[in-house]
Chain A
Amino acid sequence: MNNNIDFNELWASQKTAKPNKAALMAELNKYKKTNLTKMIALNLVLVATALFVVYILWSNQAKLLTTKIGAVLIVLAIVIFVIANNKLIVGFKNISGAESNKAYLENLLAVKSKQLFMQTTVMNLYFILLPIGMVLCMYEYVRKMTLPGAIFAYTAFALWIAFNWFYLRPRQIKKQRNLLDGMIHKFQLINDQLIVD
Chain B
Amino acid sequence: MSFDEIYNTYWQKIFRLCMGYVNDFDWAQDITQETFLIVWQQLPKFRNEANISTWIFRIASNNCLRQIEKAKRIPKTALPYDVREETIESIEPKLKLLYQFIAELQETDRIIISLELENIKQAEIAAIVGLSEANIRVKIHRIKEKLTIKFKENEQ
| Residues of A that sit less than 8 Å from B by CB | 1, 3, 5, 7-8, 10-16, 18-19, 21, 24, 27-28, 31, 96-105, 108, 183, 186-187, 190, 193-194, 196
Contact = CB atoms under 8 A, between A and B. Distances in A.
B63 to A, nearest CB: 7
Given A13-B95, A104-B65, A190-B107, A18 B11 contact: yes
B73 interface: no
Contacts of A16: 11-12, 15, 19, 25, 29
A5 B151 contact: yes
Contacts of A98: 42, 46, 50, 55, 58-59, 62
Interface of B is mostly: helix
B111 interface: yes
Contacts of B103: none
Nearest to B61: A101
Interface of A is mostly: helix
B65 A5 contact: no
The 4 closest A-B pairs by CB, nearest first: A102-B130, A100-B130, A11-B117, A193-B108
Given A10-B95, A98-B55, A187 B131 contact: no
Given A16-B19, A98-B62, 18 more contacts: A13-B95, A18-B11, A18-B12, A24-B7, A27-B33, A27-B37, A96-B42, A96-B45, A98-B50, A99-B62, A100-B58, A101-B108, A101-B111, A183-B68, A190-B65, A190-B68, A193-B107, A194-B108
Interface of B: 4, 7-8, 11-12, 15-16, 19-20, 25, 29, 33, 36-38, 40, 42, 45-46, 50, 55, 58-59, 61-63, 65-66, 68-69, 91-92, 94-95, 98, 106-109, 111, 114, 117-119, 127-132, 135, 144, 147-148, 151-152, 155
A194 B107 CA distance: 10
A21 B7 CA distance: 9
A79 B56 CA distance: 38
B42 A97 contact: yes
B58 A14 contact: no
A27 B25 CA distance: 19
